[in-house]
């Protein structure tokens, strides 16, 4: 087939050219006119098709589905797709999982493009994309110790009760820099006892006072918010949330009040986490630590390598500055980044599908970890086979 040519000295040709551009067409490098495709940084392979096991119900109503909420943006898209892939790969009933993606209204790739991309990677995935209006929270955000923490989309979890349909009464919120190595349904079935609104792994050995400024602790009234509670640090990147109780208690407004105070007085430094600690500290349903092996991205300044916490592992979380896809691309990976690699669906150049055995061996060679006798326990024995 021949190429279309244009004589740009001719007004009619120029008019046709720009009309075609407005219709979404573009020129390929060899001068041929073609349909616009995703740019190089958006090339992903299609994920394998994952089907329900024989033990799964034939059909599932909304209340029977596992509902997962995640943000969706161009900067962390590669991480989000790996996270979704890991959830589906290890789920016993992957067809009974529904994803709720929250995309920023003015994302460089636009919510529509991101929706199309998700559909191209996971053709059978059940999901909705919700547009998050950044001006909802812009006037409430204060500066943080790391610029990435000021992204309005970090605060989208505060508004899940407003954005998701009222029929969705329970949801698992996941950050984009995680991978699961266990069945998500186990986390979904976590009971929230009594009046608990959220469940998350707690870390009571952490120095809770460091999450707030001296001016907060020296104030005669502010620390009294905790009352007789015994608040512990928890990471908001993995939470089981009772949306019905969240809505009834108007917890979005309670979080916003602390954000408003932060704008008037500097009471914390760390982005979207402290308001959650203020509202829920000491009131969290404790979940086994295996469901958030966090901090693998290092601290918020250096992003240095870290090892796993002792004990079994169901979810790996690269919270912190360092992200596995960036370090792998830069040929400076941390040992545990090789555990993320098998779920990566981004392929800028043709290459084979992820080799799980190779990633296991590379990790072993890199850090001399012995999976056969290790105290690093995974949900199944054949994750990397």
The verdict on residue 116 lying in a domain is: yes
Asked, for residue 220, whether it belongs to a domain, the answer is yes
Instruction: Give domain status of residue 7, yes or no.
Output: no
268 domain-assigned: yes
- What mean pLDDT value characterizes the chain? 82
Q: How far apart are CA 202 and CA 204, in angstroms?
A: 6
Specify if 350 maps to a domain: no
pLDDT tens sequence across 67-113: 999 999 999 999 999 999 999 999 999 999 999 999 998 888 899 99
Report which of 255, 322, 275, 262 is spatially closest to residue 294, judged by C-alpha positions. 322
- Assigned domain for 307 exists: no
118 inside domain: yes
Confirm if 195 and 285 have CB atoms less than 8 A apart.
no
**In-domain check, residue 144:** yes
Containing H/E element for 126?
strand 126-132
pTM: 0.80
Q: Indicate if the pLDDT at residue 34 is higher than 90.
A: no
Q: How do residues 298-324 score in pLDDT, each as one tens digit?
A: 876 666 898 888 899 999 999 988 999
Specify the number of domains making up the chain.
1
How many angstroms separate the CA atoms of 336 and 235, rounded?
19
Alpha helices by DSSP H, the chain:
11-22, 77-89, 110-121, 160-163, 184-188, 214-218, 243-248, 251-264, 273-280, 324-329, 337-340, 356-367
Identify the CATH number of the domain in which residue 160 sits: 3.90.550.10
Nearest to 277 by CA among 184, 349, 204: 204
Q: Give me the domain span that covers residue 137.
A: 66-291
């Amino acid at each position: 087939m021949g190429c279309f040519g244009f004589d740009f000295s001719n007004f009619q040709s120029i008019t046709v050219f720009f009309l075609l551009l407005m219709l979404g067409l573009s020129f390929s490098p060899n001068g041929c006119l073609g349909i616009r495709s995703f740019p190089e940084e958006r090339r992903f392979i299609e994920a394998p098709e994952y089907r329900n096991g024989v033990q799964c119900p034939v059909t599932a109503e909304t209340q029977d589905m596992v509902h997962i909420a995640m943000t969706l943006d161009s900067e962390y898209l590669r991480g989000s797709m790996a996270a979704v892939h890991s959830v589906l790969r290890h789920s016993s009933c992957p067809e009974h999982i529904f994803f709720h993606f929250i995309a920023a209204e003015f994302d460089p790739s636009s919510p529509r493009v991101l929706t199309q991309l998700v559909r191209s990677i996971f053709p059978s995935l059940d999901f909705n994309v919700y547009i998050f209006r950044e001006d909802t929270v812009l006037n409430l955000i204060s500066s943080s110790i790391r610029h990435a923490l000021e992204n309005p989309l970090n605060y989208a979890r505060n508004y899940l009760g407003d954005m998701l349909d009222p029929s969705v009464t329970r949801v698992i919120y996941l950050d984009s820099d995680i991978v699961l190595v266990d069945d998500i349904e186990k986390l979904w079935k976590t009971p929230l006892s009594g009046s608990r609104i959220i469940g998350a792994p707690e870390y009571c050995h952490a120095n809770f006072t460091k999450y707030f400024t001296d001016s907060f602790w020296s104030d005669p009234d502010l620390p009294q918010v905790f009352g007789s509670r015994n608040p512990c640090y928890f990471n908001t990147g993995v939470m089981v949330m009772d949306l019905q109780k969240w809505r009834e208690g108007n917890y979005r407004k309670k979080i916003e009040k602390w954000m408003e105070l932060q704008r008037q007085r500097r009471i914390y430094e760390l982005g979207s986490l402290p308001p959650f600690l203020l509202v829920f500290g000491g009131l969290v349903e404790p979940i086994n630590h295996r469901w958030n092996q966090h901090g693998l991205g290092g601290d918020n300044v250096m992003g240095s390598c870290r090892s796993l916490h002792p004990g079994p592992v169901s979810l790996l979380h690269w919270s912190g500055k360092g992200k596995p896809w960036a370090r792998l691309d830069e040929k400076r990976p941390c040992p545990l980044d090789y555990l993320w690699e098998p779920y990566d669906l981004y392929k800028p150049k043709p290459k084979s599908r992820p080799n799980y055995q190779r990633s296991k061996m590379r990790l072993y060679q890199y850090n001399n970890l012995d999976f056969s006798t290790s105290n690093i326990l995974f949900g199944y024995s054949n994750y990397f086979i």
